Amino acid sequence: MSRRLARTPIWRLDRFIEDHLLPDTTFLTEVRADIDSICAFLTERCFQGATHPVRVSRIVKGGWFNKYTMLKGRSEATLVVFLNNLTCFEDQLKRREEFTEEIWKHLCQLQQEKQFKLNFEVQSTEQPDSRTLSIKLSSPQLQQEVEFDVQPAYDVLYELRDKDDFNPDNYREIYARLIRESTTLEMEGEFSVCFTDLHQNFLKYRAPKLWNIIRLVKHWYQLCKKRLKYPLPPQYALELLTVYAWERGLEDRPALHTGHCFRSVLDLITEYKKLRIYWTWCYEFKKETFDYLSRQIKKDRPVILDPADPTRNVAGSNIQSWHVLAKEAAVWARSSFFRNSDMTFVNGWKVSAQKQECVYQ
């Protein structure tokens, strides 16, 4: 256990988050300024003079880099370079290496030309099928850094990107195409990055207290990752478990205790073999999509479907990683960390690990 977190009284968790987990505002300001410069440069330079029609339509900062759940210290994020004039998801897949190479070339050029507020480093690693690309911004003085995975993506939401209502009916055909193409290509979950806008919108209107609890869960996850030195389930899966626990706790508890929600998340982790969690705010609106969703949630568990992409099981396929994390969650749940000042235990809410199966109408 982290000594700092483990020694924090359960009734002071909110203060712990404020004091130790909220990001440094100076660092954030400098990161935003540098990232804005990078985005403007790529938008202007990428594919300049190319004979093909593909161009950068916009660049979206996703993952860690939002005002909702970012953490202090070292963080990871995503920089999604959306491309227009592609015709299908398969175009992104077939031309990913070409697009990544173009972006890498200009980032290296920018590294030589531009004076950044922070240390700027371009990192590129050759993989069997494609190149992976990332950039790192760091401040040795503040002992903080953020690493962005840079990913080119088909801008499938191009015509809808200026709409604020995110009405599911607007996405009827888009999701039908996603399901058809990803299953035909046997690349389910591969195109989740195309829906980065919806990932952000999923948290946009949540309570600030939930954002802070997600920060706490992410901090706990990073402590486990450092201590256990073993592959763990994707961090995003734990973020979604936190949202799910919050939603179920909110149903009949107007005043939510941070400790109760944290404990509920740990309890869900220990029940990983039963997990069947999903949301239908984006994609349950057509029989074709519903039939696919029904098949998805009947697959081997754990199942935690991406709320913006029904083809992606965020829980992953490494059952042993869940087993390792579940053992750690059980240790924390039984520890004195969850004792109140009167020595009574803070228990989790009775949150079912299995969401009731939806019914097509």
Write the pLDDT tens digit of every residue in 212-271: 999 999 999 999 999 998 999 999 999 999 999 999 887 656 556 899 999 999 999 999
Residue 336 has a pLDDT of 93
Residue 163 has a pLDDT of 54
Average pLDDT value for residue range 182-200? 94
The residue ranges of every structural domain in the chain are 1-155, 163-361
- pLDDT tens digit sequence for 138-147: 988 888 888 9
Residue 84 has a pLDDT of 92
Contacts with 41 (C-beta within 8 Å, 6 or more apart), sequence order: 106, 110, 114
As a whole number of angstroms, the distance between CA 178 and CA 194 comes to: 10
The single residue listed with the structure tokens 């190149």 is 131
Residue 1 has a pLDDT of 46
Residue 76: what are its φ and ψ, rounded to 5°?
Answer: -120, 145
Own/partner pairs, 118-126, CB within 8 angstroms, 24+ separation: 118/27, 118/30, 118/31, 118/34, 120/34, 123/147
Topology alike, domains 1-155 and 163-361: no
As a whole number of angstroms, the distance between CA 22 and CA 18 comes to: 6
Look up residue 231 and give its amino acid. Answer: P
Residue 260 has a pLDDT of 92
The architecture that CATH gives domain 163-361 is Orthogonal Bundle (1.10)
Q: In the predicted model, is pLDDT for residue 2 greater than 70?
A: no
Name which of 101, 190, 200 is nearest 150 in CA terms: 101
Choose the weakest-confidence range: 11-15, 75-79, 80-84, 304-308.
75-79
As a whole number of angstroms, the distance between CA 118 and CA 27 comes to: 9
Q: What is the per-residue DSSP string for 272-324?
A: GGG-EE---TTT-SSHHHHHHHHHHHTSSSPEEEETTEEEEETT-S-HHHHHH
Q: What percent of the chain has pLDDT over 70?
A: 90
As a whole number of angstroms, the distance between CA 197 and CA 310 comes to: 15
Q: In the predicted model, is pLDDT for residue 162 greater than 50?
A: yes
DSSP structure class, residue 151: E
The end-to-end CA distance of the chain, in Å, is 48
Element (H, E) at 204: helix 196-204
pLDDT band, very low/low/confident/very high, at 358 (cuts 50, 70, 90): low
- pLDDT tens digit sequence for 25-35: 888 889 999 99
Q: In the predicted model, is pLDDT for residue 173 greater than 90?
A: no
User: Which carries the bigger pLDDT value, residue 124 or residue 222?
Assistant: 222
Q: Please, what sign has the CA dihedral across residues 132, 78, 199, 64?
A: positive
Mean pLDDT (the chain) is 88
CB atoms within 10 A of CB 82: 23
Q: What is the CATH number of domain 1-155?
A: 3.30.460.10
- Please state whether the predicted TM-score (pTM) of the whole model is above 0.85: yes
Residues 81/59, Cβ–Cβ less than 8 Å: yes
